[in-house]
Chains A and B, each alone.
Chain A
Amino acid sequence: EVQLLESGGGLVQPGGSLRLSCAASGFTFSSYAMSWVRQAPGKGLKWVSGISTSGTGTYYADSVKGRFTISRDNSKNTLYLQMNSLRAEDTAVYYCARPMTTVTDDALDIWGQGTMVTVSS
């Protein structure tokens, strides 16, 4: 079964750091670009960051550029999101997602269950 499982969320103080992980199974992880998408409480979906298959290409929303770093370990079938200098507005459920084909910009058909990040003092 194709599956994504996020972990690493929790409560962190403003200015703090957190690293999210997304464990992939049931498909050839190294063949797919991957993305992180977040959803603040009661709000809509927002794309956060994306990464190419090899990890050499990384992309960020303006709101997180310079604070978040996306990476991947294809040997461990795992996607990461290192979040630094966290702000209250980063509070959200964070999903990792996979496109339906190996084409980078295709629809996202596989989503994890999400992990909650709360930034508060």
Chain B
Amino acid sequence: SYELTQPLSVSVALGQTARITCGGNNIGSKNVHWYQQKPGQAPVLVIYRDSNRPSGIPERFSGSNSGNMATLTISRAQAGDEADYYCQVWDSSTASSYVFGTGTKVTVL
């Protein structure tokens, strides 16, 4: 089955840039989506189809995807960005299913 690997944690200073990676075999050929989840809350979509922001998501959130790595970038990090972040793809290779990454805890210092 398809696997997505993320770093366990990323720390970023207030106002600086955080980059969260999502590794997968030839992930550049897939659409990657990113979710933010704060404690006790449902996930929120922050980037869809590699680099698109849903309505209401700040421009500080951006995404890219190429080769074997997708990246979520949070610019000018704010305290409110502290959360868990998950990447996701649709895997049709072995079974039709969504696959989530392992998740990354972002801490804003």
Binding site for B on A (CB under 8 A): 35, 37, 44-47, 50, 57, 59, 61-62, 95, 100, 104-109, 111-114
Contacts and interface: CB of A to CB of B under 8 A. Distances in A.
A34 to B, nearest CB: 12
A62 B96 CA distance: 12
B92 A47 contact: no
Contacts of B86: 44-45
B70 to A, nearest CB: 13
Interface string B36-52: 01000011110011000
Given A44-B102, A107-B48, A50 B97 contact: yes
A50 B92 CA distance: 13
Contacts of A57: 96
A95 B100 contact: no
B48 A50 contact: no
Given A62-B1, A107-B33, A107-B49, A47 B43 contact: no
Contacts of A46: 100
B37, B90, B102: most-surrounded residue (chain A CB, <10 A): B90
Given A62-B1, A107-B33, A47 B97 contact: yes
Nearest to B54: A109
Contact of A100 (B43, B45, B92, B103): B45
A109 B98 contact: no
Given A44-B103, A47-B99, A105-B98, 18 more contacts: A35-B98, A44-B84, A44-B102, A45-B100, A47-B97, A47-B98, A47-B100, A50-B98, A59-B97, A95-B43, A104-B96, A105-B31, A105-B96, A106-B31, A108-B33, A108-B88, A111-B42, A111-B44
23 contacts: A35-B98, A37-B100, A44-B100, A45-B43, A45-B100, A46-B100, A50-B98, A59-B95, A59-B97, A95-B42, A95-B43, A100-B48, A104-B96, A105-B98, A106-B48, A107-B31, A107-B33, A107-B48, A108-B35, A108-B98, A109-B45, A109-B54, A113-B42
